[in-house]
Amino acid sequence: MDNLILLCDKHHKMAHSRVIDRKALREYKKLLSVSYNTLINERFDQLEKLLREQSKSRLDPELPEKQYISFDLEKRSPKRHEILYFSLDHIAICHYERLSGLEFEHQVEFFRGEDKLLLDALRQSDQEEDIIIDVHYFRTSYIDAPAYASWLEKKIELYELLTGRKARGILLIVVRKPHMKREGYLSLTEQGVKACTRNITLKVYSCEEVGFQPDP
C-alpha cells in the first residue's frame, strides 16, 4: 500500500512536468483506489474475526430474541442485562466527560456498504487528534484479557482509513467492585494496551464511582 501511494505520487509529479501522459496517471489512481478499498475490507475482516473469537469464549447462554404469542402476533425485546450494560456504558462515558470537561458524541456509526463501524463515543477536533472511547464492563477479574486493546486499535485504524482523520483511543473499563481497581487485577488488559502501537490510554472506574450498578 505505501509503495503504491509513493508510485502514484511520483507519477502525479511527472504528469505536471509533462513527462507522463495523464491517462497513465488516471490508471495509477484507479489502482490506488482499489488497493485502498481492499485495505479497508481487510481491517473490517480483522475486527470481525477478533470479535467472533471473543464471543465464542463467553459463558453467557444464547437466549431467544423472539416470543410468539399467537400465529400473527410476535413480541421482541432485548435481554435485560444488555439494556443494563448499555446504560452503564454511557453513564461511564458521561462520568469521563464530567472529569475531563470534554463532550462526546455517543453511539456513533459509520456505514460503508454492508459494513458498519460502531464507536461507543467519539470526539472530533480540528485542533487535536480525534478521540475514540471504547467501554467494557468487568463483572469479575477473569474477564481481564489483552484483546480489548486490540479491538480498539483496529477500530482506530478503520476510523482513520474511512475518514482520513487522525485519532487516539481511550479504553474505558468499568469494574463491578472497587477492589478490582487494585494493581494486578487488570494486568492482561494493561499488557494489551502497552503492546499497542497506537496511542491508547486506559481508564478504570468502579460502578460505585460512576453511580450505577447493573448487577445485584
Mean pLDDT of 178-194: 93
Q: Which pTM does this prediction carry?
A: 0.71
Sign, CA dihedral 125-129-134-135, equals: negative
- What's the half-sphere exposure (Cβ side, CA atoms, 13 Å) at 73? 2
Q: Over pLDDT 70: what percentage of the chain?
A: 67
- pLDDT at 3 exceeding the cut of 50: no
Q: How far is CA 93 from CA 37, 54, 64, 81, 99, in A?
A: 32, 23, 30, 18, 10
Amino acid occupying residue 24 = A
C-alpha cell at 79: 435481554
Sign of CA dihedral 181, 173, 157, 90: negative
Contact 150, 50 (CB under 8 A): yes
**Residue-level pLDDT at 49:** 60
Q: What is the pLDDT of residues 86-144, one digit of tens each?
A: 999 999 999 999 999 999 999 999 888 877 889 999 999 999 999 999 999 999 988 99
What confidence tens digit (pLDDT) does each residue in 30-52 have? 555 556 566 666 666 666 665 55
Beta strands in the chain (DSSP E): 66-70, 73-76, 105-112, 115-123, 130-138, 167-175, 200-206
